[in-house]
């Protein structure tokens, strides 16, 4: 059984602002599709450091709208 029903997911997805989603995805790809950033910021960090990085990264900051 899926974690969420398809109807619930579809309702949530319809409520999203597509411009905000597109801008956020561009920020995501800029950072996380860059091999240098992947190497220095993701692969060489410990789990605790990654958690702090994710919290401080503007992509994951929901107040950034």
pLDDT in tens, 2-58: 777 889 889 988 999 999 989 988 988 887 788 887 776 666 667 777 677 667 766
- pLDDT for position 55: 72
| Cβ atoms of residues 65 and 57 within 8 Å | no
Is the entire prediction scored with pTM above 0.85? no
H-helix segments, 1-65: 6-14, 18-32, 35-37, 47-56
- pLDDT for position 65: 46
- pLDDT for position 27: 84
- pLDDT for position 61: 55
CA-CA distances (angstroms) from residue 53 to 9, 34, 60?
A: 28, 16, 10
CA-CA distances (angstroms) from residue 13 to 9, 24, 38, 47?
A: 6, 15, 28, 30
- pLDDT for position 1: 65
41 closest CA partner among 59, 25, 22? 59
């Amino acid at each position: 059984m899926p974690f969420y029903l398809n109807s619930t997911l579809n309702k949530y997805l319809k409520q999203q602002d597509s411009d905000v989603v597109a801008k956020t995805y561009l920020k995501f790809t800029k950072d996380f599709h860059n091999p240098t950033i992947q190497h220095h910021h993701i692969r060489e960090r410990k789990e605790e450091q990654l958690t702090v990085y994710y919290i401080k990264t503007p992509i994951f900051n929901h107040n950034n709208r």
